């Protein structure tokens, strides 16, 4: 792709926007980076890039030949007008993809929940192959930072977490392996309905050919139709049955194996050998393993990496044990679907800490997920009344707490030796905390304080 002399406007001066602007400037484009925030709230632009802060200027868009949208940028009339007159409107991921070698293996991972864990594990397996590799996208480093590195060249492996926002502008993105983990209600303030949200996720499969792997959750009815939108060979994964090719669970709970089946053979990984816990994490391992096998990783590399892999921060991360009670930080569980996935198949009784700022979801599915494992629930934040109403009549105690510290103490009191206390809020954090990371850090500090008692 040739950007030399092209007038490029990058909308949004956060991490991915800055990275996109830097790439375009390096390719010889005339680049303007625009953001609604004032200049003093933004960092310095990359060399060779003009920053326009404090609002978007119509005249800048009017002369643009290329417009690169950062994830989540809302509809802008200036962008619509530029598109109508022939400007190429794209996103940071699609821009980067145009500069990747067709001989590099691209792994794209999307879904509502589990993307980051699956991407990180797939990336770790890719690194274990010894080939040049890159792991990023919606997780961590923007994809544009990969351009020009050995991972982006022939023989490299690029592992990319893909959000629905990033996939909206993905037109020629061609994953060797594309994985759709699940589709549960989220971002319905942007999409008119679940079908539109699922369709955005499904764009990951559009350019796949018969040599590619389309990997999807067979237990989620929204996933297979999206996987069929391309021509990739279908490799489902399931925790409820068996598949001829793909991945599934075999054996009784607690002593199950992950079974991987592909044209080159079959391999088993014992659940007991994994640090990751919960059915949802077994599904993440299955998806990551299939992605890695698709690009040539060996079963030995897959198993060794999966066994040594540790949870990402704030994603069902074991952060302490007090009086035989384990404390798990799952602060990244910011929607109901994520919490249900975390709790389903959890291997020990649970006291759940949940609540925060309501995102408009239905909390009723949490009641079913909690029923077989709950020792109790402790609710915090603005949504605690709404969650309590959904759990009304449950066979376990429900308590309310004014702070995270109070919630941790109450949960410890309700738990018994051998139980787990899980922070998995099903809500955003902004009523009490800066973000989900801050919420997780406060939880962990409260656990440490409890350990010192």
pLDDT tens per residue across span 47-57? 999 999 999 99
Specify the pTM: 0.82
Question: Looking at the predicted structure, is the pLDDT value of residue 71 above 90?
Answer: no
Helical (H) or strand (E) element with 40: none
- Planar angle of CA 350, 354, 357, nearest 5 degrees: 170
Neighbour tally for 453: CB within 10 Å: 8
| Tokens linked to 287 | 């998806």
Alpha-carbon dihedral 167, 169, 174, 176, rounded to 10 degrees = -10
pLDDT beyond 90 at 326 = yes
Q: What is the mean pLDDT of the chain?
A: 94
Answer yes or no: is pLDDT of 239 > 80. yes
Complete DSSP assignment for 53-103? -SS--HHHHHT-SEEEEPTTPPP-HHHHHHHHTT-EEEEHHHHHHTTS-TT
- Residue 163's pLDDT band (boundaries 50, 70, 90)? very high
Least confident of 94-103, 207-216, 315-324, 437-446: 315-324
Backbone phi, psi, residue 24, to 5°: -65, -40
Q: Strand, coil or helix: what is 52?
A: strand
Mean of pLDDT values over 343-370:
91
Q: Which CATH fold would you assign to the domain 317-451?
A: 3.90.190
For domain 7-93, the CATH class is alpha beta
User: Which residues lie below 8 Å from residue 308, measured CB to CB, with a gap of 6+?
Assistant: 275
44-52 long-range contacts, CB within 8 A, separation 24+:
45/13, 45/18, 45/21, 46/18, 46/21, 46/22, 49/10, 49/21, 49/22, 49/25, 51/13
How much is the pLDDT for 185? 76
Euclidean distance between CA atoms 27 and 25, whole angstroms: 5
Residue 187 has pLDDT above 90, yes or no: no
**Cβ distance 246 to 238 under 8 Å?**
yes
Q: Are strands 325-329 and 317-322 parallel, antiparallel or unpaired?
A: antiparallel
Is residue 403 predicted with pLDDT exceeding 70?
A: yes
> To the nearest whole percent, how much of the chain has pLDDT over 70?
99
- Chain CA centroid to CA 402, Å: 30
Give the integer Cα–Cα distance in Å for 150 and 101.
10
3-class DSSP state of 213 = strand
Beta-sheet strands, E only, within 360-419: 374-380, 398-400
| Predicted local confidence at residue 453, as pLDDT | 58
- 329 HSE (CA, 13 A, CB side): 23
How far, CA to CA in Å, does 384 sit from each of 249, 356, 410, 427? 36, 7, 15, 10
Joined tokens for residue 103? 């001989």
> Which pLDDT belongs to residue 386?
96
What is the pLDDT at residue 233? 98
Residues 137-159 have a mean pLDDT of 95
Residue 354 DSSP SS3: strand
Please report, for the chain, the start and end positions of each structural domain, with discontinuous segments joined by +. 7-93, 100-308, 317-451
Whether the predicted pLDDT of 188 surpasses 70: no
* Domain 7-93 and domain 317-451 have a common topology: no
**What pLDDT is stored for residue 135 in this prediction?**
97
Helix (H, G, I), strand (E, B) or coil at 395: coil
Q: In whole angstroms, how far apart are CA 325 and each of 37, 379, 417?
A: 45, 19, 5
Residue 312, pLDDT above cutoff 80:
no
337 to each of 78, 254, 343, 367, how far by Cα in Å? 36, 23, 10, 12
Question: Average of pLDDT values for 306-316?
Answer: 87
Q: Do residues 66 and 9 make contact, with C-beta atoms less than 8 angstroms apart?
A: yes
pLDDT category at 347 given cuts 50, 70, 90 is: confident
Task: Output the pLDDT for position 192.
Answer: 84
Report whether pLDDT(140) > 90. no
Any idea which fold 100-308 has? 3.40.1190
């Amino acid at each position: 792709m040739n950007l030399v002399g092209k007038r490029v406007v990058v909308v949004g001066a956060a991490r991915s926007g800055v990275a996109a602007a830097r790439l375009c400037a390096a390719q010889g484009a005339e680049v303007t980076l625009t953001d609604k925030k004032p200049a003093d709230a933004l960092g310095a632009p990359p060399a060779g890039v003009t920053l326009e802060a404090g609002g978007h200027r119509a005249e800048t868009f009017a002369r643009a030949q290329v417009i690169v949208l950062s994830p989540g940028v809302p509809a802008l009339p200036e962008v619509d007008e530029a598109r109508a007159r022939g400007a190429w409107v794209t996103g940071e991921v699609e821009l980067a993809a145009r500069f990747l070698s067709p001989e590099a293996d691209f792994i794209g991972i999307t879904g509502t929940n589990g993307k980051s864990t699956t991407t990180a594990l797939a990336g770790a397996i890719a690194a274990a192959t010894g080939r040049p590799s890159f792991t990023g996208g919606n997780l961590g480093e923007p994809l544009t930072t990969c351009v020009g590195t050995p991972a982006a060249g022939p023989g490299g492996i690029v592992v990319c977490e893909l959000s629905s926002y990033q996939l909206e502008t993905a037109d020629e993105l061609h994953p060797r392996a594309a994985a759709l983990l699940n589709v549960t209600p989220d971002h319905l303030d942007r999409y008119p309905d679940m079908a539109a949200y699922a369709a955005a996720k499904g764009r990951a499969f559009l350019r796949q050919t018969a040599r590619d792997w389309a990997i999807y959750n067979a237990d989620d009815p929204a996933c297979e139709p999206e996987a069929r939108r391309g021509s990739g060979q279908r490799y489902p994964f399931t925790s409820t049955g068996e598949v001829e090719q793909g991945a599934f669970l075999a054996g009784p709970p607690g002593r199950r194996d992950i079974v991987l089946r592909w044209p080159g053979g079959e391999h088993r990984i014992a659940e007991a050998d994994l640090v990751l816990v919960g059915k949802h994490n077994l599904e993440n391992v299955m998806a990551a393993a299939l992605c890695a096998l698709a690009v040539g990783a060996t079963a030995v590399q897959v198993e060794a990496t999966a066994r040594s892999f540790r949870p990402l921060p704030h994603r069902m991360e074991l952060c302490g044990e007090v009086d035989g009670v384990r404390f798990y930080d799952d602060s990244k569980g910011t929607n109901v679907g994520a919490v249900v996935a975390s709790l389903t198949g959890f291997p020990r009784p649970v006291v759940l800490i949940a609540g925060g700022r309501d995102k408009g979801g239905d909390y009723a599915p949490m009641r079913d997920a909690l029923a077989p494992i709950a020792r109790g629930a402790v609710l915090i934040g603005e949504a605690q009344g709404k969650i309590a109403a959904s759990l009304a009549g449950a066979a376990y105690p429900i308590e309310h707490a004014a702070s995270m510290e109070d919630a941790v103490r109450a949960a410890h009191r309700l738990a018994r030796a051998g139980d787990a206390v899980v922070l998995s809020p099903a809500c955003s954090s902004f009523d009490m905390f800066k973000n989900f990371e801050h919420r997780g850090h406060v939880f962990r500090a409260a656990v440490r304080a409890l350990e010192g008692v």
